[in-house]
Structure 1
Amino acid sequence: MEFKNMGTYDGGVISSSPDTAMASQRFKTMDAAAIANNGAFLQSELEKKDNVIRQPLTSFTYSRDLPIRVGGGWAEFISAMNVEYGVTGGSEDGPVHAGGANGIPMVQANFDKGLFKTHIFSVGMRIMWVDMQREKLTGRSLESILRDGIRMTYDKHMDANTYVGIKRYGSTGLLNNPNVTTASAAATGASGSTKFKDKTPDQILQDINDAILAVWAAAEYDRDAVPNHIIMPYEQINYLATTKVTELAEKTILQFLLDNNVAKTNGSDLYIGGCSWCKGAGTGDTDRMLVYINKDRYVAMDELAPLSRAMTQPNAENVCYDTAYMANLSEVELYYENIMRYVDGI
């Protein structure tokens, strides 16, 4: 077979023999723009499109650290009834009865109703009509992307509402309630520091047991009121989870704490976890540990109207579609002020 001269390429101009003039002309017609731009067109055609949309990195822990009850509608307040009992002469010897007595002590009840505020969460989404048409070419749903953004906004709001409340709204959260007793600082270890990293495992266990017992004592040692939940900054929890009790031991400090705490001894399954909101939450911006009872009898939050699409309408003036998402949420409802304890300086 005989090969004809197909011409040469000098980086910008193609020279060809008469036999290839027509083919060369077609080549110039189709790809002249690509050649003039150093093959940019060809490069874009040959690239592999990654279909994964990488969203911002973040985390939410509110559903782990607080019971969330769903339902209730668009109420403005949530009420909770408390009752205290009393009996004439006290419950120790007041009810003792003797023959011939003409009266018995009567029990009395003192009712108190607490009110907790709710607030409406609302955020909108706008999609231009032209962008909706372009979705057919890109293969991506702009509505789906923006809906994920709304969900992330909602979760970040719920996280803040759970741990520190909404300052402008006048509410507080798990970590900054002024009615919760605050230990001025964790006990000072042999090294002279209150920080966990400067203490022995036994000293850390003592800090945790002291906080558990203080909360339980304030609840008059009610068997249902043994603290079962502890949160602290990730720096401290990671230290506990990765540091061995001793150089020769296989057990970490965290496992040592979970196996030997006073809550477990009294029938409570203790959880110890990390929370980014604990960092700097204590007095003087120190790190804070929270010990409490994570049950809806003692503390909760109401998601009265879960996040949902409220309405969508076309907007001819701006050539777009507007959608509103709304929810109705409560502040943190702390029913017993003595079922929590803050320990600062860990």
Structure 2
Amino acid sequence: MNFMQMQDAPQRAFGFLIQQATRIEAEVYRTVYQEIQYQDIVPVDTTGPEWVDAITYFSSDAVGQAQWFNGHAQDVPNVELLRDKFSTTVSMAAIGYRYSVEELGKAALYGINLTNDKGVAARRVAEEKIDSVAFVGDTTKGYTGIVNNPAVAATTAPADGTGSATTFASKSPDQILRDINAVLTGQFTGTFGNYVADTLLLPYDVLLTLSSRRIDSVNQTTIIDWIKRNNIYTLTTGRELTIRGLFGYLDTSGSGGTKRMVAYKKDPSVLKLNMPMPFRFWNPWQMGPMLFEVPGTFRLGGVDVKLAKAIRYLDGI
């Protein structure tokens, strides 16, 4: 190989990478990650401008009550909205993948398509980061997540289990249902009947126990099935309560490092994850004489809790 051929090798490799990048990107975006849960748990808002520096939102609470009224009177009762203004910064994160001239050259020589393994791995890392921010936030950015927002009311489960314990494992099915309904009822009264929690998040091992433990030694019904039929949300609305198990995020989020349950209304008016720029790959670029990179970025503003009273925490479960 002469000098000119050696000089041309990186250009040929780069051209091959450009040709392959679009196909790889399409394959990566078709990949589904079953363990990534934020999209099923938190409403995601991608409508903001991609390069916005901050997102402003208002947390509101209605004050007022309808009264009996005489048609000739002039003092009509009015509702007032108490609004608090909040602003959250939007931050960018990046993850990409690389190829060497040797990798690209061999693939081009033998007519082999580049695999999407590196692209899939990069996107998975990005999704894991978004998942973590959605649930627990990021202290370096001042973000809190759905399981640790300080504005949300947190109570500890009654200590009337075996040995005065608070945990669900120490309690009877009736006590567990009582504790869950107390959280759902507290949310309903806390919002003057405007919001009822439709989603429960439980530590994974707690959900596993409830889904395998029967309500008694004779009945085949598990505690979780019994709760699904007899919780106050289902009895009030006729709709099924969504119950999800989370691995890791709720194990020590409660007071004193205890397990926590989260009950909330899954609605953008209550909470949402601001993601003005979902994860994307940018054009490949040559970062050195023999190395090429495909950068990927996304921009997040964290989870905005717009109505804290429509979310409740129960600790010590």
- Residue 70 of structure 1 corresponds to 46
Count of matched residue positions in the alignment of Structure 1 and Structure 2: 280
1:60 is displaced (CA, Å) by 1.8
2:228 aligned partner: 258
- Report the CA distance shift for 1:65/1:266 in structure 2 as closer, same or farther (over 3 A): same
CA separation of 1:91 and 1:158: change in aligned 2, threshold 3 A: same
1:212-291 paired onto structure 2 within 5 Å? 212-222=184-194, 225-267=195-237, 268-276=239-247, 277-291=249-263
**Residues 187 and 207, structure 1, Cα contact 8 Å, conserved in 2:** no
Distance 1:205 1:244 in 2: 14
Q: TM-score, normalised by structure 1?
A: 0.74
Shift of 1:117: 2.5
Q: What residue identity is the alignment partner of 1:80?
A: Y
Identify which of 84, 89, 98 aligns with 1:126: 98
Letter in 1 for 2:229: D
Shift of 1:167: 0.8
Distance 1:184 1:86 in 2: 28
1-structure distance, mates of 2:124, 2:38: 13
- Tell me if the contact between 2:144 and 2:303 (Cα under 8 Å) persists in the aligned partners: yes
Asked if 1 retains the 8 angstrom alpha-carbon contact of 2:59 and 2:307, the reply is no
Alpha-carbon deviations, 1:236-284, whole Å to 9, x = none? 1001111111111111100000000011111043111100111111111
Structure of greater Rg: 1
SS at match of 2:149: coil
- Point out which structure has higher relative CO (alpha carbons under 8 A, 6+ apart): 2
What RMSD, in angstroms, separates the aligned Cα atoms of the two structures?
Answer: 2.5
| Structure 2 length-normalised TM | 0.80
Partner amino acid, structure 1, of 2:283 = M
Deviations 1:26-68 (A, max 9, x none): xxxxxxxxxxxxxxxxxxxxxxxxxxxxxxx982211111111
Give the residue type in structure 2 aligned to 1:156: E
Matches within 5 A, 1:1-346: 59-72=35-48, 73-81=50-58, 91-92=66-67, 96=70, 98=72, 104=75, 107=78, 112-135=84-107, 141=114, 144-222=116-194, 225-267=195-237, 268-276=239-247, 277-315=249-287, 317-346=288-317
Contact 1:226 1:266 in 2 (8 A): no
* Per-residue Cα deviation, 1:148-168 (whole angstroms, up to 9, x for no partner): 111111111111111110110
Which runs of no fewer than 5 residues in structure 1 stay unpaired? Answer: 1-56
Identity among equivalent pairs (%)? 21
The verdict on how the C-alpha distance between 1:128 and 1:177 changes in structure 2, with shifts beyond 3 A counting, is same
User: Which AA in structure 2 matches 1:314?
Assistant: Q
- Equivalent residue of 2:282, what SS? strand
Listed one character per residue, the Cα deviations across residues 121-158 of structure 1 (whole Å, up to 9, x for unaligned) are: 2223221111112335695735x221111111111111
Letter in 2 for 1:75: V
Shift of 1:337: 1.1
Amino acid at match of 1:326: T
